Chains A and B, each alone.
Chain A
């Protein structure tokens, strides 16, 4: 016997407070895309492997496909849109454009969020460390080199006080 349970959740999405009543079994990914129309979060494998659905929960990257919606009550959720500074693209987004790190673009939001969280949390970032940090975000187009170039340049600019 399966019952449907609805829950009330309050959380902060990209700086804006949200209050929802939704089925408790829904994932954060499904609520973001299907309920709230936040389409910069992508659905890839739905098994936590590909990284396309990455969001920041508080300040850590998580697979939104693996997070049941009751878990985000009282937390902060950041998607790519939330990185924008006063309506302008985040410097890491600009670096992705400058280095040609985007091809089809499907992995890009997760890639940028993961990289951004990593650079914020670590000083003295090396290319090897970035490779490890981004190992869980799959890109089927670029071969990763330009993505790493972009993130490395951004990390350097942060370090140098850019």
Chain B
């Protein structure tokens, strides 16, 4: 941020000494301290096994040097509209713990992101912890991204989570996107249309189209609105296919 001349702070408080780089498994959730590094999401066995969507999202973040130092809390609190972890946190129904002088509160990811670099954090609050549900049986996931070069900001990225019932029909669907609005967003109309159906190619195709219709991306120097809409359709369709096949056969990753 400073190197890009986006901010010029008078004072910097280094949070790195806080004991917040833990990863715990509690009551069906993975609980991550805000200082868990991106490379830990990629490499730590408990994250790969219990929340593979997070591990997969982390592989798209910046480059290996960024992943050495970048933190989960930092990425979420920064709230770049094209970033992977804010998008992933929506698809995961993550919960954030915020702490400030008034005490501690928890907030669902959906209520946290407000706009470009804007969140629900009060000026004296920091994000200290993230809770994500552990992957259940018959649950598939996928993270898809399109950027001009490896490590660039995403033009559009999509995170998808599908849980199937014993009958093979969708019990829960989550579709979230980055790069198509001022904040990451979910597309509930497309999610709802999948619930109760078998995730066959036809349904998936329709869900992708619904996503493209349900968003209002803007044009900028990197991509036009219609190109972003098209990418959203392609990436969601691709993600849903992968998520469905992972949900059906555990090893089909």
A residues at B contact (CB < 8 Å): 1-2, 46-49, 51, 54, 57, 60-63, 65-68, 70-71, 114, 118, 132-133, 135-137
Contacts and interface: CB of A to CB of B under 8 A. Distances in A.
B7 interface: no
Interface residues of B, number: 17
Interface of B: 3-4, 10, 12, 14, 16, 39, 59, 62-66, 68-69, 150-151
Contacts of A71: 14, 16
A68 B16 CA distance: 12
A124 to B, nearest CB: 15
B64 A133 contact: yes
B150 A62 contact: no
Contacts of B62: 48, 136
A135 B61 CA distance: 12
Contacts of B4: 47
Contacts of B65: 48, 51, 54, 61-63, 66, 114, 136
Contacts, number: 55
A137 B64 CA distance: 9
Given A2-B10, A48-B66, A54-B65, A60 B151 contact: no
Contacts of B39: 60
The 8 closest A-B pairs by CB, nearest first: A136-B63, A135-B150, A60-B68, A63-B65, A47-B3, A62-B68, A61-B65, A62-B65
A79 B79 CA distance: 33
Nearest to A61: B65
B253 to A, nearest CB: 16
A117 to B, nearest CB: 8
A65 B68 contact: no
A57 B67 CA distance: 13
19 contacts: A1-B10, A48-B3, A48-B63, A48-B65, A54-B65, A60-B68, A61-B65, A61-B68, A63-B65, A66-B3, A66-B65, A66-B69, A67-B69, A70-B14, A114-B65, A118-B64, A135-B64, A136-B64, A136-B66
Contacts of B66: 48, 63, 136
Residue picked from B10, B59, B64, most chain A C-beta under 10 Å: B64
Contact of B151 (A46, A54, A67, A135): A135
Given A49-B151, A135-B151, A57 B64 contact: no
A57 B151 contact: no
A113 to B, nearest CB: 10
B64 A114 contact: yes
B58 to A, nearest CB: 13
A61 B14 CA distance: 20
B41 to A, nearest CB: 14
Nearest to B37: A60
A8 to B, nearest CB: 15
Given A49-B151, A60-B68, A136-B62, A65 B10 contact: no
A31 B72 CA distance: 28
Contacts of B16: 71
Nearest to B68: A60
Contacts of A48: 3, 62-63, 65-66
Contacts of B12: 68
Nearest to A67: B69
B2 to A, nearest CB: 9
A137 B59 CA distance: 16
A158 B81 CA distance: 42
A10 B57 CA distance: 36
A6 B75 CA distance: 28
Given A51-B63, A71-B14, 17 more contacts: A2-B10, A47-B3, A47-B4, A51-B65, A60-B39, A60-B68, A61-B64, A62-B68, A63-B66, A65-B3, A66-B3, A67-B69, A70-B14, A132-B59, A132-B150, A135-B63, A136-B65
